[in-house]
Amino acid sequence: MEAPLLGKVKLGDETGRLAALRRYQVLDTEVERPFETVVSLVEDILEVPICAVSLVDADRQWFKAKRGLAVCETERDIAFCSYAIEQEEPMVVPDATEDPRFSANPLVTGDPHLRAYVGVPLVSPDGYQVGTLCAMDVRPRDFSDHELKILRKFARLVVDELELRIQAGSDQLTGVMARRHWVSMVKEEIQRAARNSNLLCIALFDIDRFKRINDAYGHAVGDQVIRNVIATCKHELRAGSKLGRIGGEEFAILFTECALDQAVVAAERCRRAIERLTLTAPDGEDIEITASFGVAPLFSYALSPDELIELADRALYQAKSGGRNRVEVGQVVNTFYPGTA
């Protein structure tokens, strides 16, 4: 499986996974040609009577595009795809009647009488499996390595199309740049920095223990926490800094024409301001809000945005593992920061 932009596939974080799904704002939308094209190709190439782009919501699976299915959604507890998103590799079921997970499933014992299934997870760039591209048959069959390879490629096309839907716009909740737009901006600024011998840094940050907030108080309160955090950062950052939302509770800052020590000061200023935030839950309890930051310098003009993000992501991991609510700097080995040598 192709690695997501920001690291490994994230299993077991249902709150983050649902946030990644909602970021696409695709559930219950109208038919769209790119997704219809993908399922038509899967239907023809794999020679299956049933296939779908299945998005797994909290309590249902919803089909963005489908062939051979009379319904637009099913309950999640009978969805094969709900099992498929719990593993990194494609899930293949040659004969559902012989699989104890599915032998009594109403989709097997009743219409459409499924027998064979293959599902490839749809992995968002921040590592969350929001659904699957799946193919099904009403007779037992296996799926060859070649067919799995084809399905993987089509699954990547589906994710690319989901990302393209939000590329041009900003994040609906916060108003900052969407992930793909922000990464594109980083690429442009790296090229500009190289032309003009400028300095550049980025920071990644996320809200500490955000899952606990969502679980304890619900998504509405979680959304308010995110809005308050971003409003606070906007107030603390200079006008030239570019904020982006790159995951559920993960955000990024682009510092143009900015030395590393200046970027660290700005990140620390944001961290302290977030720590001072006060928000009261519906039950009257005060919610403690903190964030962890990882800062990375553009130490070589040859770096790609992905490589710079990876450096900042490692620093963010150090901040989280070091106790949270802190700023860490990505360590550069045997390199130097441009313009300082």
Other Cβ atoms within 10 Å of 126 Cβ, number: 21
Q: Does domain 177-329 have CATH number 1.10.10.10?
A: no
For residue 334, pLDDT beyond 90: no
Q: Compute the distance between CA of residue 137 and CA of residue 114 in angstroms, rounded to an integer.
A: 6
Of residues 274 and 170, more confidence is placed in: 274
Name the band, by pLDDT with cuts 50, 70 and 90, for residue 335.
Answer: very low
Residue 170's beta-bridge partner residues?
Answer: 177
Out of 13-22, 162-171, 243-252, pick the least confident: 162-171
pLDDT, tens only, 68-81: 999 999 999 999 99
Structure letter (DSSP) for residue 285: P
Let me know: does 152 contact 121? Beta carbons within 8 Å.
no
Percent of the residues in the chain that have a pLDDT greater than 70, as a whole number = 94
In this structure, what are the phi and psi dihedrals at residue 66, rounded to the nearest 5 degrees? -155, 160
E-state strands within the chain: 50-56, 60-67, 73-75, 91-93, 116-123, 129-137, 177-178, 200-207, 242-245, 250-256, 279-280, 286-287, 291-297, 327-329
Name the band, by pLDDT with cuts 50, 70 and 90, for residue 188.
Answer: confident
CATH superfamily of 14-167: GAF domain (3.30.450.40)
Query: Which segments of the chain belong to CATH 3.30.70.270?
Result: 177-329
pLDDT score recorded for residue 286: 93
pLDDT, tens only, 94-126: 999 999 999 999 999 999 999 999 999 999 998
Coil, strand or helix at 185: helix
Q: Compute the distance between CA of residue 175 and CA of residue 154 in angstroms, rounded to an integer.
A: 31
Name the band, by pLDDT with cuts 50, 70 and 90, for residue 171.
Answer: confident
Query: Which segments of the chain belong to CATH 3.30.450.40?
Result: 14-167
pLDDT, tens only, 255-282: 999 999 999 999 999 999 999 998 998 8
CB-based contacts of 163, cutoff 8 Å, min separation 6 = 125, 179, 180
Q: Compute the distance between CA of residue 135 and CA of residue 93 in angstroms, rounded to an integer.
A: 11
In this structure, what are the phi and psi dihedrals at residue 173, rounded to the nearest 5 degrees? -75, -40
Name the band, by pLDDT with cuts 50, 70 and 90, for residue 24.
Answer: confident
Which own/partner contact pairs does 262-268 have at CB distance under 8 Å and 24+ positions apart?
Answer: 262/201, 263/201, 263/202, 263/203, 263/295, 263/297, 264/295, 264/327, 264/329, 266/203, 266/236, 266/237, 266/238, 266/241, 267/203, 267/205, 267/293, 267/295, 267/327, 268/293, 268/327
Tokens read off for 112: 């459409």
